[in-house]
């Protein structure tokens, strides 16, 4: 049975899809978000809310309530090499009330955003509603979606359904790989009272691998790097080499390394860097990982998705007030975001290639020791923090869109 027509249907209830749905609904646009899962309660690895995101939420009146939820304030990003330890980003030096990265389980962020969006009359969220098809008219314009449970006709379908996007596949908009050479094996270890108070976002380099450690309220997320495609061989060796790495290179976690006993406690993240050449076709737009997959280097996957949502809202809100978005409006969203996406992905490709060359020589790819002296300059740590906190060419929510949102604040 067909649901009532909507202005926009967004496939994917991740940060980008939920935020775009909220912004459009607050501007009075009829939006339905379709989330394929029955709830958000799963183990995400993207838990980083950057100062850009927190400032945006503050402008929308959402930051105060969000930050009442448990979160960990990361104020620095450090490298630990065999020769030196140094910070490359000091977020506490930024001129903002949110001079930190808030590490919060993504499920909490999404549950909070969904609760706020449900207060809006023009917003609806359907869980367990996996998209199974696109509805098109004769010339090939997308006019709606089929999903488990029915059909919805709409003026625009937004695919925000992640790196394995069903909407992207159905729309025949293939992603082009830019080259990734590393996979990350994630697991958790508990936080204890005596842990270093300055451990926030840290990379620890060994002879052939590196480990990322992300702080949390109750535990640490630990990511062990492996060459792409070598996980089956690692699995045959068991978790002992990973425990040994932790004991040797992260001594303050050595007392709980034995808690990692089996690969069932781990999650393999297959790192990818890819991009769709065209993010749109008539009646359809791709955003976030559906349009461009970002590697976990820098922890800015959520940031890029949020900024995509802002750029899309800036274009879509006025276009709906003038009768609905045309192909030029959709193309403009990609044009607005492509320079930033290209810059971030180019940086990540360089890191991946450098890591591959280092592994071929039996090294981990640790940054050179002279960077310790370079980043001893406070201004460079501030610049590093600003670059990561806001990303390149950060979009600002247009005042006209913000005014439209204020006109329809939740009751």
- pLDDT beyond 90 at 190: yes
pLDDT value of residue 73: 94
pTM across the whole model: 0.93
Mean of per-residue pLDDT scores for the chain: 90
pLDDT value of residue 244: 95
Strands, E, within 201-295: which ranges? 201-205, 210-214, 219-227, 267-270, 274-276, 280-281, 284-286, 292-293
Confidence of residue 301 (pLDDT cuts 50, 70, 90): confident
- pLDDT beyond 90 at 17: yes
Summarize the confidence of residues 153-174 as an average pLDDT. 96
pLDDT value of residue 362: 66
pLDDT digits (tens, 9 = 90+) for 311-349: 999 999 999 989 889 999 999 999 999 999 999 999 888
**Cα–Cα distance measured from residue 273 to residue 298, given in angstroms and rounded to the nearest whole number:** 13
**Cα–Cα distance measured from residue 136 to residue 139, given in angstroms and rounded to the nearest whole number:** 8
Domains of the chain: 2-178+272-407 (3.50.50.60), 182-227+229-270 (3.30.9.10)
Summarize the confidence of residues 236-250 as an average pLDDT. 94
With beta carbons less than 8 A apart as the criterion, state whether 306 and 56 touch.
yes
More confident residue, 294 or 57: 57
Confidence of residue 2 (pLDDT cuts 50, 70, 90): very low
Summarize the confidence of residues 189-211 as an average pLDDT. 89
- pLDDT beyond 80 at 224: yes
Residue holding tokens 């999650």?
Answer: 267
Confidence of residue 155 (pLDDT cuts 50, 70, 90): very high
Summarize the confidence of residues 172-201 as an average pLDDT. 91
**Cα–Cα distance measured from residue 388 to residue 335, given in angstroms and rounded to the nearest whole number:** 22
User: For residue 340, what are the CA distances in angstroms to 154, 296, 345, 387, 393?
Assistant: 30, 16, 9, 12, 6
- pLDDT beyond 90 at 373: no
Spatial CB neighbours of 202, under 8 Å, sequence gap ≥ 6: 77, 78, 79, 80, 212, 213
pLDDT value of residue 408: 65
pLDDT value of residue 4: 44
Summarize the confidence of residues 281-308 as an average pLDDT. 91
With beta carbons less than 8 A apart as the criterion, state whether 230 and 209 touch.
no
């Amino acid at each position: 049975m067909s649901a009532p027509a909507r202005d926009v249907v967004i496939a994917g209830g991740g940060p980008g899809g939920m935020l775009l749905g909220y912004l459009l609904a607050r501007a009075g646009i009829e939006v339905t978000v379709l989330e394929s899962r029955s709830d958000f309660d799963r183990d995400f690895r993207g838990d980083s809310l950057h100062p850009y995101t927190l400032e945006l939420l503050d402008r929308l009146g959402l930051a105060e309530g969000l930050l009442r939820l448990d979160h960990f304030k990361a104020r620095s990003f450090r490298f630990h090499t065999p020769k030196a330890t140094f910070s490359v980003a000091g977020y506490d030096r930024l001129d903002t009330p949110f001079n930190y990265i808030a590490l919060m389980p993504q499920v909490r962020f999404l549950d909070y955003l969904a609760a706020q969006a449900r207060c809006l009359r023009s917003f609806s969220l359907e869980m367990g509603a996996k998209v199974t098809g696109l509805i098109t008219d004769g010339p090939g314009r997308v006019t709606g979606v089929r999903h488990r449970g029915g059909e919805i006709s709409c003026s625009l379908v937004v695919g925000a359904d992640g790196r394995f996007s069903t909407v992207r596949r159905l729309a025949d908009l293939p992603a082009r790989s830019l080259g990734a050479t590393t996979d990350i094996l994630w697991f958790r270890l508990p936080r204890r009272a005596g842990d270093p108070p300055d451990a926030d976002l840290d990379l620890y380099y060994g002879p052939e691998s590196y480990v990322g450690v992300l702080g949390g309220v109750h535990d640490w997320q630990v990511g062990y790097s492996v060459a792409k495609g070598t996980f089956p061989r690692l699995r045959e060796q068991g978790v002992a080499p990973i425990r040994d790495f932790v004991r040797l290179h992260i001594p303050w976690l050595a007392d709980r390394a034995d808690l990692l006993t089996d690969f069932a406690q781990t999650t393999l993240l297959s790192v990818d860097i890819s991009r769709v050449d065209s993010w749109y076709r008539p009646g359809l737009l791709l955003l976030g990982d559906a349009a461009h997959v970002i590697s976990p280097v820098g922890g800015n996957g959520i940031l890029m998705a949020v900024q995509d949502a802002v750029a899309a809202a800036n274009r879509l809100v006025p276009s709906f007030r003038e009768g609905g978005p045309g192909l030029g409006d959709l193309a403009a969203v990609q044009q607005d975001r492509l320079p930033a996406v290209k810059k971030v992905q180019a940086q990540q490709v360089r890191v991946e290639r450098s890591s591959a060359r280092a592994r071929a020589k039996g090294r981990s790819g640790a940054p050179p020791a002279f960077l310790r002296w370079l980043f001893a300059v406070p201004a460079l740590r501030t610049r590093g923090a600003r670059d990561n906190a806001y990303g390149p060419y950060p979009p600002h929510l247009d005042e006209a869109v913000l005014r439209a949102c204020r006109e329809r604040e939740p009751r």
